[in-house]
A and B are shown apart, each in its own frame.
Chain A
């Protein structure tokens, strides 16, 4: 047994022991057709990290293939076992290559001081936080991104840094760096009646040409709320928006939430100052450069499957540069035209 495997067993035992001492909450969620179970401490409703996901109807048998166990605490009985790697082992991305393998992956997230251990031989991921109730709003809005991205890769799905909106079952994926206008465009489309599949991270399945919702949340800065004031009342941390991203948990009473849609176009938005938005073709190379840095940066490098799925994604739909304009209605029309027509 490797050091990593021994550590994974110890982590599983610690998680189970810690959760056995307190009330717990559980739920079943899905990324596309693939279900996963989540179990963690019961607490205040806004501390339940399952809130970030769209619940799976009880009538829907997802055949959940993975369990995510989350716990927290800094008391001796709650702390994870001592890590078996050197302090510098998680550098630079957080992924601990020295104690990981094809079926076992370990990581440290420097932003939340959390530990993730995914053991695909047993079908469990374990995530420990120092204190779930102290997590910043953005972290509660997009939890378990790393273990879910690893698990998704094993289902032929790639989590990507991007937004997606759809019309009539056909979706446009918006990709690019922060500040390019992904979130604002996606949320403007959602408020105009499009299906909303995410504004920060989405899941793409190149083999089926589908894009799936990962989180039902939206993260916005104040300028987006100025452009889209209808969102303001849905932001839960509006009192702190001067110092952190606003977070909204969207539900069907807010916008149409889409679980999956066929990917019909990839859009590379960027802010422009023309009166009307402009669309012109983008190359595969431009798509890769728009998707890859922030995707693999945000996913600790991805997995061995990531390069193939990014390459396939770039070929899976026509791509367009979308030069945004202050007229959001015209931007929505442009995205709608590409979503439907491809």
Chain B
């Protein structure tokens, strides 16, 4: 299975070893670095889980079975959060490449998740914020 990102609902970019993903549909954003950024880079370009695990195991000199398990967990999370979607029409690529980077030991990819934006946006800037101002709600 390959995956894609819906550009109408998800904006994302990577700079060096950091990635930011914004889900306009849910009002949440995610940031990650290192293995998380690498998983995002590969999955968003249409790599399969197996291809991703193979590339990352090589890049991090890590055990491929462990990497595969970590990537599977991460992909389930990305799917559940609506950041990627299953896509049967994505053609197989001749090769997926990662950006040049100094990579340390493999660690399970983890994204920091921020889901409080919708609460911020619903705050009325006049009546529903504390004295310090938007976006701090009244206690």
Chain A residues within 8 Å of B, Cβ to Cβ: 92-95, 97-98, 100-101, 110-111, 136, 138, 177-179, 183, 219, 221-223, 243-245, 284-285, 288-289, 292-294, 296-298, 300-308, 310-312, 315
Chain B residues, CB < 8 A from A183:
133
Interface contact B22-A138, CB-CB below 8 Å:
no
- CB of A302 within 8 A of CB of B136, answer no
CB distance from A5 to the nearest CB of B (A): 15
Q: Which residue of chain A has its CB nearest to the CB of B131?
A: A221
**CB proximity to A under 8 Å, residues B1-36:** 7-9, 11-15, 18-22, 24-27, 29, 31, 33
B residues within 8 A CB of A302?
A: 11, 22
Q: Which of B24, B124, B131 contacts A111 (CB 8 A)?
A: B124
Q: Give the interface residue-count category, chain B.
A: 35 or more
A301 and B24 in contact (CB under 8 A), knowing A179-B132, A312-B15?
Answer: yes
Tell whether, in the assembled complex, residue A100 and residue B132 are in contact, meaning their CB atoms are under 8 Å apart. no
Complex contact A288–B135 (CB within 8 A): no
Residues of A within 8 A of B26 (CB): 92
Select which of B7, B116, B135 is within 8 A of A304 by beta carbon.
Answer: B7
Assuming A179-B130, A179-B133, A293-B116, is B20 touching A311 (CB within 8 A)?
Answer: yes
A307 touching B11, Cβ below 8 Å: yes
Decide: A95 and B24 in contact? CB cutoff 8 A: yes
> How many Å from the CB of B37 to the closest CB on chain A?
11
Checking A101, A221, A223, A307 against B12 with a beta-carbon cut-off of 8 angstroms, the contacting residue is: A307
Inter-chain CA distance A289–B116, complex, in Å, is 12
Question: Are B133 and A303 in contact, with the CB atoms below 8 A?
Answer: no
A-facing residues in B108-139 (Cβ within 8 Å): 112, 114, 116-118, 120-122, 124-127, 129-136
B11 surroundings in chain A (CB, below 8 A): 301-307
Partner of A244 from B18, B126, B132, B135 at Cβ < 8 Å: B126
Report the Cα distance A183→B88, complex, angstroms: 50
Q: How far is the CB of B107 from chain A (nearest CB, A)?
A: 16
Q: Which residues of B contact A98 (CB under 8 A)?
A: 8
CB contact under 8 A between A311 and B18, given known A178-B133, A179-B133: yes
Tell me if A223 and B131 are in contact (CB < 8 A).
yes
CA distance A100 to B13 in the complex (A): 20
Which residues B34-59 have CB closer than 8 A to chain A? none
- A221 and B133: CB pair below 8 A? yes
Q: Considering the chains assembled together, what is the distance between the CA atoms of A183 and B116 in angstroms?
A: 23
Cα A92 to Cα B131 in complex, Å, equals: 25
Residues in B with CB closer than 8 Å to A304 are 7, 11
Residues of A within 8 A of B134 (CB): 178, 294
Bound-complex Cα distance A36 to B28 (A): 31
> Shortest CB–CB separation between residue A92 and chain B, in angstroms?
4
Which among B31, B117, B121, B131 is the interface contact of A222 at CB below 8 angstroms?
B131
* C-alpha spacing A244/B126, complex, angstroms: 5
CA distance A301 to B9 in the complex (A): 9
Nearest-neighbour CB distance to chain B for A110, whole angstroms, equals: 7
Known: A97-B9, A97-B25. A221 touches B132 (CB 8 A): yes
Chain A residues closer than 8 Å to B129, beta-carbon distance: 178
Which are the 3 A-B pairs with shortest beta-carbon distances? A179-B132, A301-B24, A307-B20
CA of A172 to CA of B45 in the docked complex: distance in angstroms? 37
Q: Give the distance to chain B from A222, nearest Cβ to Cβ, in Å.
A: 7
Q: 7 other contacts beyond A178-B134, A221-B133, A292-B31, with CB at 8 A cut-off?
A: A138-B126, A221-B132, A285-B18, A288-B31, A292-B114, A293-B117, A311-B13
Check if A307 sits within 8 Å of B117, measured CB to CB: no
